[in-house]
Amino acid sequence: MTQALSSLARLTLRQLRQMASDLGVTLYSRKSKEDLVSAIAEKQERRGGDLKAIEAELHAPSKPESNTRVVFLPRDPQWAYVFWEISDTDRRRAQSDGAAHLSLRLADVTGIQDGSAHPHTLQEVPVDSHSTEWYLPVPLCDRDYRVELGYRQGSSWISLAFSSVARVPALHPSDQILDQFVPFSLDATPVAEPLPVAPIEPSDSGLHERLYQSATTHFRSRRVGSEVLHERDRNEADQYGLNASGAGLWASGRNESGLGGVAPRQRAFWLVADAELIVYGATDPSARLTIGGEDVPLSSDGTFRIQVPFRDGEQVYAIEATAADGEQKRNITLNFERVTPEDNSNPASEAKAEWF
């Protein structure tokens, strides 16, 4: 047992942690080297191992060495997620050169194609040498960034790897609306033929309405706002004796014979108002994004933006992103509820003559 402990003590802390992980030692990343040696030896003893078994563990065929890489993934307009892995060769080379601290460098590369960065935008963040992931604060949203992984050696810098360039999403929706909807007019009358629609991709046909229907599957509210704008025929105004100007046939000073010179004393007044909901975000451009089980197309930089009706009642949007390999998933559920406590509106077709 003493010889086995002596063999374990000659290993580096990284090798001991790898062995502890393979043996199922709990909290191995928080233990000191002495504690790891004791825990590993105890595990081997419980498993009935001897010195030969320990030597077999020590000299087991090493796993294929991976390449050093770093991946930069914007999470929201303020934060980005970074993960990396460092090959043993690069780690040993950096340590032999006197590397002291592992760090991440965040650089703004918006509009630059030659690999350089904007001056005075470089931010260096020291990270734990045994970590493989980190959250970085983003200085400005709606910009392109790149992360560099490396070691700090006094006043010099040892570079290990660069991430690909990714764009951090904007804090607010863009003023430019790319979504295309059916033309809408408050004064339009119902017609039998469908209204003209701007050409859209077949895969996006009806996406916004399908998402709304999916979000309100378990909730239906009364019809309000723009839903009732065209429900009644415009000819209904005839029963009130209204003409195109809003003045009634029986207004003061007028009669059925058309005589009378007194100005009309009745007016028709109307109001309409409604709202729409914008859901936007970003993920890895190669991922598959669904909202309520409905596939949502991503732009080339991984951003998405949909604009759906926002009517009275509850709407639930379950958003899920799945990585291209199908192994990683991220999700968020947004719950919205609209209430109209007072609705004294009416479309122009329902305007009534009122005394003033």
Domain boundaries, the chain: 2-58, 69-167, 202-338
Three-class DSSP category at 259: coil
Gyration radius from the chain CA atoms = 34
Give the pLDDT score at 249.
47
Cβ-contact 347, 228 below 8 angstroms: yes
* 20-58 pLDDT per residue, tens: 777 777 777 777 888 888 888 887 777 655 545 555 555
Give the pLDDT score at 147.
94
| Candidates 2.60.120.10, 3.40.920.10, 1.10.30.50, 2.60.40.10; CATH matching 69-167 | 2.60.40.10
Q: Which pairs count as long-range contacts for 2-8, CB under 8 Å and 24+ apart, including other chains?
A: 3/51, 4/41, 4/44, 4/50, 4/51, 4/54, 5/37, 5/38, 5/41, 7/51, 7/54, 7/55, 7/58, 8/37, 8/40, 8/41, 8/54, 8/58
Other Cβ atoms within 10 Å of 110 Cβ, number = 15
Cβ-contact 103, 125 below 8 angstroms: yes
Euclidean distance between CA atoms 144 and 51, whole angstroms? 55
Phi, psi of 319 (to 5 degrees): -100, 130
Tokens linked to 161: 């790897």
Phi, psi of 90 (to 5 degrees): -65, -35
Give the pLDDT score at 91.
86
Give the pLDDT score at 200.
43
Give the pLDDT score at 346.
85
Three-class DSSP category at 105: strand
Give the pLDDT score at 311.
86
Give the pLDDT score at 336.
92
Give the pLDDT score at 23.
77
Residues of the chain with pLDDT under 50: 51, 180-182, 184, 186, 188, 192, 195, 197-203, 221-222, 224-242, 244-247, 249-254, 256-260
